[in-house]
């Protein structure tokens, strides 16, 4: 591999890693640049590692917020590997693979750990309109994720994932004016059915099968902030809602096909180190304001990303709404 | 733009995927018994002293305007039968005893939830007289469930023996035999139709569910209406068959309700004073007593269930099959077994977790007795049993499993043995930790009794049932909530419990 570093302009396309669903520890799946409006140039390759930690000591049992002294504080830790590649200036690909570990401070349940779901995305920059005052971009994304280990999904909230194969379709709009920007996106997540290790289960009625019909999910996200030179600072709000599913009944265990909702508010920072070219540091966090059948999680993360340019051409990096 | 479209097309292809799930229960075929068991009126009952203990008057002649009106009820229902109605005919056509066993399982799963503690750290007790306010009555935990399945099944059995007695006595033919213009929508049978066996079962359920799930009256009534209407719409019964069966079922069930009110289950919850006595007794023997591992500490589950009245043996026989004392908590044997649990808990393999979860049947499920009812039902469906034999087999299975619960709970509170996690908090579990003493394993006792009964009833599957029971038993060690002694003593006791039910089966006149 050619490790020749290429200068990255400070106002370059930012390889912006972000976490979508760390809230409960259920969906610790990471996604990265699929959430932002930034593009890599052709033949640029970027790779990185991220650590994320999510904790909650209260959760919504249906709509009732409660604590559980037999869980105490639930903690989900994740180490994620990510890689991104510019296929063309307008088409980027991303993959990620997280390792997840769950634990709690009380009770006798055994926390679980393992490699969770691999995800892969394609991102297409469909429209780029420069106006007198700003620049507008429209993006289409498609992603797939699927479990790569045979983890149990029947031990929530200790399971490391929900076990679904997901197909994501996302449309995203971005507007940049000077150093300030705003991005909005909508996502539809097709979720496959999943299977338990048992032959019957109860949701709102009994089912004599090991297969569970999983509701699909939608997500919206808005983010806005400062994007200039080697800094990004933004606030992010998002909402995850399953299209169906049932509530946890009183004092019951959570179940994989519960109706899960969360509205989160958070902030992200990215800083590109001027000393070591190609190196970026990431940090951020979010907090669940509202939810249903999920933990009221506080999530923090930090990561490090490194960019290679295989094209060996100096990047002009006008390839993004992020640039002027 | 073309590329963008493509990106959205890929997931769209999967949008068409069918997400509907194949449910085993909904795929059960309509019942077509291989033999009618027309002489079942002579089979030995559980509580009824004679099959005619409850009087059923002779049906009016199958002629004249009244009977014609009843035939016309069938025809008018059939004339407006839509897909829903046809589905109901077929659903109930799989068997009354089967379907109501499933409904019982469903209610057990719905109600199998431990109450949340009060703010002061105490726990509220569900109140049968106030079932709809929290904590809902009942908390359908495994002993409660075992007893519920036993009463439902035993009452169905006795009522159907009486029903078959009257069927033979009065010998009224089915409507489609009396009147050939009636079109039966289910397989024809030679069995006389008065009183209706389906209505007999429904009548039993109405009374039993009042006792067992008093908050579910409206839902049960709706099911009963649907069931009985489906039988008339199917052309299998006229209204008077239904009415007679329903009344018979209710009357027989009331004998069982009377037994239930005096079987000591009502006081099985115990109290903290009683729990302290068990604890003191264990300390006096030099043993480490069981301590609830929940926070706040929850009183042990149904601490006096070991004194509940049994079905297939008496209290002296209960003592004779009582498991021997477990290894003393200070003994080398105990240390060795604790170490074994720890080793399973440290790094459970995926297959051990699979087995632990397959048999866990914990909170929010139909419990281990429910699991064995599901296993039994899958087998019985293949055998094409008559309704009365369905009831007899389930009565044998479920009375054995309630007896297993009594035997196991007797040992649990007598020995008051601590769980592995209490002795070593490094022993984290992959299934829920039950809130009652460790020795013996309830799953093992239930499974030992169930596999013994099922092995007698379905002889060519006996080895497979035993293998399942052993796997259910060892699953509790994999789950890290039981020692090996708990599992082995549980299986052994369960098999002896099951033996008493087999003795009953050998002498009830039903044959194979």
Q: Do B343 and B418 belong together in one domain? A: yes
Residues in chain B closer than 8 A to A110 (CB atoms): 345, 348, 428-430, 480
In the beta sheet, which residues pair with residue A224?
A: A182, A235
Residue A180: predicted pLDDT: 94
CB pairs under 8 A between A and B: 131
CA distance A297 to chain B (A): 22
Chain B segment 386-425 residues within 8 A of A by beta carbon are: 421, 425
CB contact A198 to B (< 8 Å):
yes
Residues in chain A closer than 8 A to B369 (CB atoms): none
Rounded CA-CA distance B502/A304 in Å is 68
Least confident segment among A76-80, A230-234, B275-279, B449-453 = A230-234
Cβ proximity of A236 and A219 under 8 Å: no
CB contact A252 to B (< 8 Å):
yes
pTM exceeds 0.80, yes or no: yes
> Which residue of B lies nearest to A140 if distances are taken between CA atoms?
B4
CB contact A167 to B (< 8 Å):
yes
- Torsion (CA) A294, A299, A302, A306 in degrees, nearest 10: 30
CA distance A43 to chain B (A): 19
Closest by CA to B312, choosing from B502, B115, B129, B455, is: B502
Average pLDDT of the segment spanning B87-92? 98
Sign of CA dihedral B150, B153, B159, B162: negative
Average pLDDT of the segment spanning B124-143? 96
State pLDDT tens for residues B336-373. 999 999 999 999 999 999 999 999 999 999 999 999 99
Residue A182: predicted pLDDT: 95
Calculate helix-pair angle for B442-457, B462-478, nearest 10 degrees.
170
- Torsion (CA) A137, A142, A148, A154 in degrees, nearest 10: 100
Query: Considering B218, B233, B260, which residue would you say is the last residue of a domain?
Result: B260
Rounded CA-CA distance B88/B30 in Å is 11
Question: Beta strands of A154-297 (E only): which ranges?
Answer: 166-177, 180-191, 194-195, 201-202, 206-207, 211-212, 217-228, 231-242, 261-272, 279-292
Q: Do B94 and B224 belong together in one domain? A: yes
Residue B440: predicted pLDDT: 98
Indicate the SS3 state at residue B370.
Answer: helix
Residue contact B357–A197, C-beta within 8 A:
yes
> For residue A26, is pLDDT > 50?
no
Q: Which domain holds residue B304?
A: 268-506
Q: Do B478 and B453 belong together in one domain? A: yes
Q: Do B227 and B341 belong together in one domain? A: no
Cβ proximity of A290 and A62 under 8 Å: no
Is the residue at B9 inside a domain? Answer: yes
Q: Which of A197, A203, A215, A216 to probe the B interface (max B CBs under 10 A)? A: A197
| A273 pLDDT tier (thresholds 50, 70, 90) | confident
Indicate the SS3 state at residue A167.
Answer: strand
Residue contact B425–A108, C-beta within 8 A:
yes
Is the residue at B21 inside a domain? Answer: yes
Rounded CA-CA distance B63/B173 in Å is 12
CA distance B365 to chain A (A): 6
State pLDDT tens for residues B173-229. 999 999 999 999 999 999 999 999 999 999 999 999 999 999 999 999 999 999 999
Is the residue at B120 inside a domain? Answer: yes
Residues in chain A closer than 8 A to B374 (CB atoms): 199-200, 208
Residue contact A190–B15, C-beta within 8 A:
yes
Q: Do B294 and B185 belong together in one domain? A: no
What does the block give as tokens for B356? 């632990």
Q: Which of B21, B124, B381 to probe the A interface (max A CBs under 10 A)? A: B21
Rounded CA-CA distance A271/B197 in Å is 77
Is the residue at B132 inside a domain? Answer: yes
> For residue A97, is pLDDT > 80?
yes
> For residue B121, is pLDDT > 50?
yes
> For residue A134, is pLDDT > 90?
yes
Rounded CA-CA distance B466/B464 in Å is 5
Q: Do B96 and B151 belong together in one domain? A: yes
Burial (Cβ within 10 Å: 0-12, 13-18, ≥19) of residue B195? buried
State pLDDT tens for residues A41-95. 899 999 999 999 999 999 999 999 999 999 999 999 999 999 999 999 999 999 9
Is the residue at B249 inside a domain? Answer: yes
Residue contact B113–A249, C-beta within 8 A:
yes
| A7 pLDDT tier (thresholds 50, 70, 90) | very low
> For residue B455, is pLDDT > 70?
yes
Residues in chain B closer than 8 A to A142 (CB atoms): 7-8, 10-11
Query: Considering B216, B236, B260, which residue would you say is the last residue of a domain?
Result: B260
Q: Do B111 and B214 belong together in one domain? A: yes
Residue A16: predicted pLDDT: 33
Residue A323: predicted pLDDT: 37
CB contact B116 to A (< 8 Å):
yes
Residues in chain A closer than 8 A to B4 (CB atoms): 124, 126, 140
Overall domain count for chain B: 2
Indicate the SS3 state at residue A74.
Answer: strand
Rounded CA-CA distance A265/A221 in Å is 10
Q: Do B473 and B375 belong together in one domain? A: yes
Q: Do B313 and B209 belong together in one domain? A: no
Sign of CA dihedral B84, B89, B95, B100: positive
Residues in chain B closer than 8 A to A107 (CB atoms): 295
Rounded CA-CA distance B401/A226 in Å is 68
Q: Do B234 and B290 belong together in one domain? A: no
Q: Do B128 and B214 belong together in one domain? A: yes
Average pLDDT of the segment spanning A222-237? 91
> For residue B16, is pLDDT > 90?
no
| A29 pLDDT tier (thresholds 50, 70, 90) | very low
Cβ proximity of B405 and B367 under 8 Å: no
Is the residue at B512 inside a domain? Answer: no
CATH number at residue B211: 1.10.606.20
Query: Considering B231, B260, B289, which residue would you say is the last residue of a domain?
Result: B260
CA distance A199 to chain B (A): 7
Residue contact B114–A142, C-beta within 8 A:
no
Task: Report CA Rg, chain B.
Answer: 25
State pLDDT tens for residues B424-445. 999 999 999 999 999 999 999 9
Q: Do B220 and B279 belong together in one domain? A: no
Residue contact A167–B295, C-beta within 8 A:
no
Is the residue at B511 inside a domain? Answer: no
Q: Which of A105, A173, A200 to probe the B interface (max B CBs under 10 A)? A: A200
In angstroms, the Cα distances linking A145 to A83, A114, B11, B353 are 15, 16, 12, 24
In angstroms, the Cα distances linking A291 to A63, A216, A218, A296, B384 are 8, 17, 14, 7, 49
Is the residue at B391 inside a domain? Answer: yes
């Amino acid at each position: 591999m050619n490790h020749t570093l290429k200068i990255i302009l400070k106002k370059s396309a930012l390889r912006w890693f972000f976490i979508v669903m760390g809230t409960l520890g259920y969906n610790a799946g990471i996604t990265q640049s699929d959430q932002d409006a930034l593009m890599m140039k052709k033949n640029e390759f970027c790779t990185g590692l991220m650590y994320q930690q999510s904790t909650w000591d209260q959760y919504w049992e249906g709509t009732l917020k409660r604590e559980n002294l037999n869980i105490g504080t639930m903690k989900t830790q994740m180490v994620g590997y990510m890689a991104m590649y510019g296929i063309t200036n307008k088409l980027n690909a991303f993959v990620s693979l997280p390792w997840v570990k769950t634990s709690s401070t009380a009770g006798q349940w055994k926390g679980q750990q393992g490699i969770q779901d691999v995800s892969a995305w394609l991102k297409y920059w469909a429209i780029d309109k420069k106006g007198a005052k700003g620049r507008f971009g429209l993006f289409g994304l498609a992603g797939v994720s699927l479990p790569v280990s045979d983890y149990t999904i029947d031990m929530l909230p200790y399971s490391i994932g929900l076990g679904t194969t997901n197909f994501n379709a996302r449309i995203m709009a971005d507007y940049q004016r000077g150093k300030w920007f705003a991005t909005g996106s909508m996502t539809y997540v097709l979720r496959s059915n999943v299977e338990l290790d048992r032959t019957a289960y109860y949701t709102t009625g009994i089912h004599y099968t090991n297969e569970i019909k999983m509701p699909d999910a939608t997500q919206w996200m808005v983010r806005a902030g400062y994007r200039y030179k080697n800094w990004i600072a933004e606030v992010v709000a998002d909402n995850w809602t399953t299209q169906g599913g049932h509530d946890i009944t009183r004092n019951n265990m959570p179940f994989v096909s519960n109706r899960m909702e969360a509205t989160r508010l958070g902030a992200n920072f990215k800083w590109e180190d001027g000393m070591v070219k190609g190196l970026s540091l990431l940090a951020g966090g979010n907090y669940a304001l509202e939810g249903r059948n999920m933990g009221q999680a506080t999530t923090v993360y930090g990561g490090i990303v490194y960019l290679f340019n295989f094209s060996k051409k100096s990047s002009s990096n006008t390839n993004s709404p992020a640039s002027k | 733009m073309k590329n963008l479209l493509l990106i959205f097309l890929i997931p769209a292809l999967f949008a068409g995927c069918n997400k509907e799930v194949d449910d085993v229960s909904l795929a059960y075929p309509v019942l077509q018994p291989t033999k009618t068991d027309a002489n079942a009126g002579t089979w030995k009952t559980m509580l009824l002293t004679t099959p005619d203990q409850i009087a059923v008057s002779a049906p009016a002649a199958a002629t004249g305007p009244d009977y014609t009106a009843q035939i016309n009820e069938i025809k008018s229902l059939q004339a407006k039968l839509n897909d829903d109605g046809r589905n109901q005919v077929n659903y109930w056509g799989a068997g009354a005893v089967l379907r109501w066993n499933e409904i019982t399982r469903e209610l057990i799963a719905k109600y199998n939830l431990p109450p949340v503690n009060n703010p002061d750290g105490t726990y509220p007790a569900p109140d049968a007289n106030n079932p709809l306010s929290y904590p809902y009555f009942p908390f359908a935990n495994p002993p409660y469930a075992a007893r519920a399945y036993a009463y439902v099944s035993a009452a169905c059995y006795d009522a159907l023996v009486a029903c078959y007695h009257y069927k033979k006595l009065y010998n009224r033919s089915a409507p489609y035999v009396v009147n050939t213009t009636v079109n039966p929508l289910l397989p024809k049978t030679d069995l006389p139709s008065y009183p209706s066996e389906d209505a007999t079962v429904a009548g039993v359920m109405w009374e039993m569910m009042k006792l067992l799930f008093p908050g579910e009256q409206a839902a049960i009534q709706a099911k009963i209406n649907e069931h009985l209407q489906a039988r008339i719409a199917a052309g299998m019964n006229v209204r008077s068959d239904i009415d007679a069966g329903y009344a018979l079922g209710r009357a027989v069930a009331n004998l069982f309700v009377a037994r239930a009110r005096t079987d000591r289950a009502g006081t099985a919850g115990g109290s903290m004073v009683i729990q302290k006595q068990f604890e003191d007794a264990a300390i006096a023997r030099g043993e480490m007593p069981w301590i609830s591992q929940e926070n706040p500490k929850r009183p042990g589950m149904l601490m006096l269930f070991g004194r509940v009245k049994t079905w297939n043996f008496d209290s002296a026989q209960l003592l004779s099959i009582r498991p021997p004392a477990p290894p003393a908590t200070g003994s080398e044997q105990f240390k060795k077994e604790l170490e074994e649990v720890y080793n399973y808990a440290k790094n459970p393999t995926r297959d051990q977790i699979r087995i632990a979860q397959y048999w866990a049947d914990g909170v929010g499920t139909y419990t281990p007795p429910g699991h064995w009812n599901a296993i039994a039902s899958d087998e019985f469906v293949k055998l094409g049993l008559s309704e009365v034999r369905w009831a007899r087999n389930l009565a044998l299975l479920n009375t054995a499993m309630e007896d297993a619960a009594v035997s196991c709970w007797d040992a649990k509170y007598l020995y008051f043995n601590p769980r592995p996690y209490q002795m070593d908090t490094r022993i984290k579990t992959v299934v829920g930790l039950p809130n009652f003493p460790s020795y013996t394993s309830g799953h093992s006792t239930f499974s030992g009794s169930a596999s013994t009964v099922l092995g007698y009833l379905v002889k060519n599957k006996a080895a497979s049932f035993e293998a399942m029971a052993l796997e259910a038993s060892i699953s509790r060690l994999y789950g890290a909530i039981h020692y090996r002694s708990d599992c082995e003593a549980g299986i052994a006791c369960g098999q002896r419990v099951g033996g008493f039910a087999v003795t009953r089966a050998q002498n009830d006149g039903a044959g194979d």
